């Protein structure tokens, strides 16, 4: 999934918004066909920009007796829908619900997704220092479980935050790491997009 094409406006400049992280909590491979199908359908609807429909399906899925891990994943995806709608308070509330479930289940993947997404809410709200702290914590969790795609997303979001903060060398470093990972995992769409950000930052650094 490509990064959001939304923008963050600061003074007379615009920056890319960054991207939320998903995790399935086992729902993509669930033996319960209803829960599995609902999760996949909601994910597709979110990608299609039909966030309201996705939220309705996910709320109904919460009534199907999900496991703790599944509950965390559902809350994350609901939060991502609210994020896409620009409803940051609702997104943060759902992420915190997911955080509680992920901690209870000792689910590192879920904790990483929640931490990164809470950081992105801070980021969009202009709370860059808080965002960077959460991104760093999330990146350590993703690296601990070997989730390179998640790490690349967080490195990109971190790079964008440093870019906004006019810390261009730090922005370059994070984005370069992200591009290398995207090359390795053959995510050509994200590689091309982040390489474009990298060129803009490099141009500003040399100006």
Q: Determine the Cα angle at 111 with ends 29 and 172, to 5°.
A: 105
Give per-residue pLDDT as tens, 96-155: 999 988 888 899 999 999 999 999 999 999 999 999 999 999 999 999 999 999 999 999
Give this prediction's pTM. Answer: 0.91
Q: Give the C-alpha separation, 67 to 84, whole Å.
A: 26
Compute mean pLDDT per 10 residues along the chain, 207 residues long, and list them. Answer: 48 73 87 95 94 97 94 94 94 94 90 95 94 97 95 96 95 97 95 94 90
Cα distance between the two ends of the chain: 32
| Inter-residue contact 117 to 79 (CB < 8 Å) | yes
Would you state the structure tokens that stand for residue 133, as one six-digit string?
A: 């702290």
């Amino acid at each position: 999934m490509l990064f959001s094409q939304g923008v963050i406006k600061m003074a007379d400049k615009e920056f890319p918004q960054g991207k939320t992280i998903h995790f399935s909590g086992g729902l993509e491979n669930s033996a319960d066909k209803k829960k599995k199908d609902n999760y996949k359908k909601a994910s597709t609807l979110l990608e299609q920009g039909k966030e309201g429909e996705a939220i309705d399906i996910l709320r109904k899925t919460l009534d199907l007796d999900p496991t703790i891990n599944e509950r965390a994943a559902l809350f994350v995806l609901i939060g991502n829908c609210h994020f896409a709608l620009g409803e940051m308070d609702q997104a943060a509330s759902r992420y915190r619900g997911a955080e509680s479930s992920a901690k209870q289940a000792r689910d590192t993947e879920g904790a990483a997704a929640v931490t990164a997404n809470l950081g992105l809410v801070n980021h969009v709200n202009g709370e860059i220092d808080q965002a960077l702290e959460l991104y760093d914590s999330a990146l350590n969790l993703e690296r601990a479980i070997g989730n390179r795609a998640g790490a690349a997303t967080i490195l990109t979001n971190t790079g964008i935050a440093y870019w906004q903060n006019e810390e261009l060398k730090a922005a370059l470093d994070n984005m370069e790491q992200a591009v290398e990972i995207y090359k390795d995992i053959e995510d050509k769409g994200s590689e091309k997009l982040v390489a474009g950000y990298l060129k803009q930052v490099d141009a500003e650094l040399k100006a």
